[in-house]
Amino acid sequence: MIPSAPGAGPAGEPLPAAVRTALSEPTAARVADLWRELGLDDATLHDEDAQRGLRDALADRAGEEWRRACARVRRLLDTPPHVALVRAAGPPSPPVLAALSVCLGRLEDPYRRSWSRVMQEIVVDPGSDDALAWHVDSPGWPRTNDLTCLLCVTPAAAGGRTEILPWTAIARELRSAAELRAELAARKIPWVLDEALGSRVVHQPVIGPEGLRFMRGSLERAAAAHPRDAPWITSLCRRFAEVAERARPYLSHRLEEGEILVFDNHRCLHRRGPVHTAEGAGEGAGESADRLLIRTRIGRPAWRRSVAAPFADDSGGRRHRSDAAYSPEGRKE
């Protein structure tokens, strides 16, 4: 009912060199040593005290390069296009991903079940095309995560580009569609939360005061669960998807082994381009299961983000947010 995105196209721009940060081998090794010393793994990391312990240990002992890299990533996330790419020397390092994540905010896990992971393996799922269309992560959570980090363990043999569409580009496209923009900000979608979270419904617009909330599959679920609202939900979703499809520029990057891509999940949409097998193939056919990423989803950023609530104006996020408007404690779930 809502059209699919075509995936990576020639219109995507490469990641600017300015968003890249390298970490030296000694720093990466120190981080991994701390991780081992603290006896951390995915299960222990669910605990907020363990996350705080790791953050404190890193501040004390990971060194100046680590401190600078974290500060730089925070700055990059605060500035359009709200993206940072970190490459630690050596093989792909889940400890470095976890360490970077806890230095940015809290690793979120609203499920709190034995099967849930704060460091989640992301493989190509031929049964779902949600990742192929512009979306934000966690539309099935009461509050979507603020930041997403993706560590590339195994790159795609071919294709599989990760693409980022910053809010500033969407806002520009919406300038000539004031009515649609007003509707996107005013009409509250009855989002159906994940089954494991009780399938509750939360009412939020696509363009909310805190950011974007959009995923085609979730909107289809909302429409199916609320047949009377289905016509306007479907129409709004289709029109927004068309705007996102036209919006430029967006970034397109094929993650390489060991790279960590971090982006602001409230101020960007993202998607994955089709993955090709050696035989070649298009979307849906020949998708390879080899590509492996590890994802963390971060809430309550550890710093006060300084960029204006982008949804209050069209200035591209240059105005400063008031601290009060962005205090994590002041947020409702």
Ligand X SMILES: O=C(O)CCC(=O)C(=O)O
> Mask: binding to Fe ion, 192-221, rule CB under 5 A, as x and -?
------------------------------
**C-alpha pair distances (Å), 242 with each of 19, 106, 134, 236:** 28, 34, 10, 10
Answer for which of 78, 109, 129, 137 binds Fe ion (CB under 5 A) is 137
Q: How many CB atoms lie within 10 A of CB 171?
A: 21
For residue 22, give the nearest of 64, 82, 69 by alpha carbon: 69
Residue nearest to Fe ion (CB): 137
Minimum gap (Å) between residue 134 Cβ and ligand X: 10
Q: How many CB atoms lie within 10 A of CB 3?
A: 12
The sign of the torsion formed by the CA atoms of 106, 111, 117, 122 equals negative
Q: Work out whether 264 is an interface residue with Fe ion (CB under 5 A).
A: no
What dihedral angle (degrees, nearest 10) is formed by the CA atoms of 175, 181, 182, 184?
Answer: -170
Q: Could you give the CA distance from residue 185 to residue 257 in angstroms, rounded to a whole number?
A: 39
Minimum gap (Å) between residue 62 Cβ and ligand X: 27
Which residue, 255 or 308, is less far from ligand X as judged by CB?
A: 255
Q: Work out whether 122 is an interface residue with ligand X (CB under 6 A).
A: yes
Which residue, 107 or 308, is less far from ligand X as judged by CB?
A: 107
Burial class (CB in 10 A: 0-12, 13-18, 19+), 274: buried
Q: Could you give the CA distance from residue 269 to residue 264 in angstroms, rounded to a whole number?
A: 9
Which residue, 137 or 173, is less far from Fe ion as judged by CB?
A: 137
Tell me the helices (H) and strands (E) count for the chain, helix number first: 9, 16
Residues that bind Fe ion (rule: CB under 5 A) add up to a total of 1
Q: Work out whether 162 is an interface residue with ligand X (CB under 6 A).
A: yes
Which residue, 11 or 122, is less far from ligand X as judged by CB?
A: 122
Instruction: Find which of Fe ion, ligand X, none residue 165 binds, CB within 5 to 8 Å per kind.
Output: none
Ranges of H-type helices in 119-263: 167-174, 178-186, 216-225, 230-246
Instruction: Find which of ligand X, Fe ion, none residue 213 binds, CB within 5 to 8 Å per kind.
Output: none
Could you write out the DSSP letters of every residue in 109-141?
-SS-STT--SSEEEE--TT--GGGSSB-S-TTS
Question: Strand pairing of 83-88 and 20-23?
Answer: parallel
Minimum gap (Å) between residue 148 Cβ and Fe ion: 7
Answer for which of 78, 129, 137, 264 binds ligand X (CB under 6 A) is 137
Residues that bind ligand X (rule: CB under 6 A) add up to a total of 7
Which residue, 144 or 162, is less far from ligand X as judged by CB?
A: 162
Minimum gap (Å) between residue 248 Cβ and ligand X: 20
Positions in 265-304 near ligand X (CB under 6 A): 270, 272, 293
Contact stretch for Fe ion (CB under 5 A) within 54-62, 103-111, 137-145, 297-305: 137-145
Minimum gap (Å) between residue 58 Cβ and ligand X: 26
Instruction: Find which of Fe ion, ligand X, none residue 109 binds, CB within 5 to 8 Å per kind.
Output: none
97 phi-psi bin (left φ>0, alpha ψ -120 to 50, beta other): alpha
Paired residues of 135 in beta bridges: 270
Minimum gap (Å) between residue 294 Cβ and ligand X: 11
Which residue, 131 or 185, is less far from ligand X as judged by CB?
A: 131
Question: Strand pairing of 83-88 and 275-276?
Answer: unpaired
Which residue, 126 or 280, is less far from Fe ion as judged by CB?
A: 126
Do residues 192 and 291 make contact, with C-beta atoms less than 8 angstroms apart?
no
In the complex, which residues of this chain contact Fe ion (CB under 5 A)? 137
Contact footprint for ligand X (CB under 6 A): 122, 131, 137, 162, 270, 272, 293
